[in-house]
Structure 1
Amino acid sequence: MKKTIQTILLGFQLISFSCSVSDPLDSESVSINTDQAITLKTVQVSNLKDQGIYQVSGIIKQGDQLIIGDRIGLRHAVNIDLRSQAQKNLFPRGRSHNAAVAVTSLSTNSDSEITAFDFRQGKLLITPTANTPQPRSTASSFIQLPTEQQHISAIKAGPFVIATGIYEEGRYLLYSPEENKAAYFLTYPDHPSYPNIQEKTKGVLYASTVLKARPDNQAFVCADMYSGIIDICRIESNQIERIQQHCFHYPKVNIKEGSRFPDVAYSQNNYFGFSDIAVSQDRIYAIYSGKTYKESGKNFQHCQTLLVFDWDGNLLSNFKLEEPVTHITYDTKEKKIYVSNTSLFQLKNL
């Protein structure tokens, strides 16, 4: 099972296109119209290759502190002081209590913590940021999620961990570490070409997700990488409730059930969806690709469309980006948006 998960998981190099010779029954694909979109100019801030980072897996920027996820280096992330250029390695590779085998969901929260999720070991790694005033602890820690489940992405939101995975019980896990209590909420998106597939199969189909929590920890957004589906939810009374779900297009896939584990293979003509999200207290900033592997090859995840939503789920704006990018972050200190590929850029006029 875990080997199969690794072929569909997460991020840009883990997807399987094994059934791409012929397309499945084509689902309605709704393109996001960018004809009238304003182009946002970018200003380069840093060449990340100069920092020894060649494949970025996530970015966080808070004032002078830049945290970069490193997909292929000896550490999973590095904290760079932009004034002194000093570096601090975060989340070393390994199986010790503060190390990780393979991570997703690089994020920060209102507790001045940096988190990353090790989906191989099912644990959320936590370390204080460099800007933390009088941190409670300078040591890294982790939260172990229920070991009987296959978890994919996870973030911390106040006292809870929110996670997605191959769950039959529901779309989202809401886990309380203090009470060691797990609860599952909401349903997976359907697929019009496969209306009768099992919940476990839907879990595989919609496995690759981006999760971000609102700074007040009362809401979160989940976007799918291999479709145009984005889900905005609130956390209330220890429950998850859906605010709004948009589906710009469904994934183009071939699905076979009946074996011990469902076979979900994406078409090379599948439109890639959202590669990353940034959030502020009142806005959601989602970068969207809309490209296919057949047309764009390994660059299919590079995004030049920025969609801006409010937390009620209204699509407010859509912009074109000068540079094709893969990651985005909102700097709460500067109130500015930054994006990256192998360089870090600031978005202007937003």
Structure 2
Amino acid sequence: MKKIHICDLNSFDCKPSEIINFKETDLQFIFDGKLINSDLVAVTGMIKDGVFATINLKNNNEVNFYGEFPLNPSGIDPYILSDINTGGIRISPCKKYLIYSTTKFGYICCYKINNNQLEKIWEHWITEPQYSVSNGKIYLKSDNILGFMDVAIDDDNVYAIYHGKKMNALRSQNAEESPETIMKFSLKNGEPMAKYTTDVPITRIAINPDGEIYCIAKPMEYNLVKVNID
């Protein structure tokens, strides 16, 4: 990815209102980007110096790296570490917090955003990765437990889809090997608040401005479903 196209959701015009170009940065392999504010973008990808980076658009595209790799055996090439620690980033609606979570094992953490600088304020290991190292590479074992598939945030809480199944379930089409757990954390301090089990497997999660939670249900031809957690 080298560009972000920003479009107005209230307009039927397909032309973007703004285009952010990353060609001038030193980051060659950007997979995802999230706009923090008009000055700052957070990106993930094959990044050797951290789990994600920020790009300051108003300061000559200055790049800062954040986070040590959660899974970090010694002697491994940083790009291999970046791949094994692959995950997602989400920005809170208030633009004051960033959540990073890993897919291949159960790790989630939160950074507070202040004056375009980020500070990690909490983290959780849900499952420890099961792996071996051979010839400078990391191999996740078949009994390794998968981590977080997607995250949604409101002004107070983090809702994360936790896979919780063994490694071979990552690309399985079987419903019984699909994620069906939502974990709820306090956004401000990371306190675990609740754990929900859905009656259908789910793959993606989102919250609307009214606080209603929606998911993509895997066995229902990827239909959108509303989740009632009361």
In the superposition, the TM-score normalised over structure 2's length comes to 0.83
Percent identity over the alignment is 20
193, 207, 210: which one aligns with 1:330: 207
* Letter matched to residue 318 of structure 1: K
Bigger relative CO (Cα 8 Å, ≥ 6 apart):
1
Aligned to 1:201, the other structure's residue is in SS state: helix
Alignment of 1:217 with 2:103, yes or no, is no
Match of 1:304 in 2: 180
Match of 1:170 in 2: 50
Pair 1:143 & 2:21 matched: yes
Matches of 2:122 and 2:173, distance apart in 1? 30
Q: Deviations over 1:183-237 (max 9, x none)?
A: 112322145xx35545443222202x12110111111101101100001111123
Contact 2:52/2:67 (CA < 8 Å) preserved in 1? yes
Q: Which runs of 5+ in 1 are unaligned?
A: 1-117
Aligned to 1:73: none
Identify the residue that residue 283 of structure 1 maps to in structure 2.
157
Residue 119 of structure 2: SS of its match in structure 1?
A: strand
Distance 2:27 2:206 in 1: 33
1:234 aligns with 2:112: yes
Paired residue secondary structure (1:149): coil
8 A contact 2:196–2:229 mirrored in 1? no
CA-to-partner distance for each residue in 1:99-139, whole Å, 9 max, x for gaps? Answer: xxxxxxxxxxxxxxxxxxx3xxx33332221x36xx9x854
For residues 251 and 289 of structure 1, the distance between their equivalents in structure 2, rounded to whole angstroms, comes to 13
Pick aligned residue for 2:195 from 309, 315, 318: 318
- CA contact 1:174–1:240 (8 Å) conserved in 2: no
Matched residue, 1:346: 226
User: How far 1:164 moved relative to its partner?
Assistant: 2.1
| Aligned-partner Cα distance in 2 for 1:228–1:222 | 11
Aligned residues: 219
Q: Which runs of 5+ in 2 are unaligned?
A: none
Q: 1:294 to 1:201 in 2, by over 3 A?
A: closer
Code of the aligned partner of 2:63: A
Contact 1:273–1:290 (Cα < 8 Å) also in 2: yes
Amino acid at match of 1:287: I
CA-based RMSD:
2.6
TM-score by length of structure 1 reads 0.56
Question: Is the alpha carbon distance of 1:243 and 1:139 closer, same or farther for their aligned partners in structure 2, counting shifts above 3 Å?
Answer: same
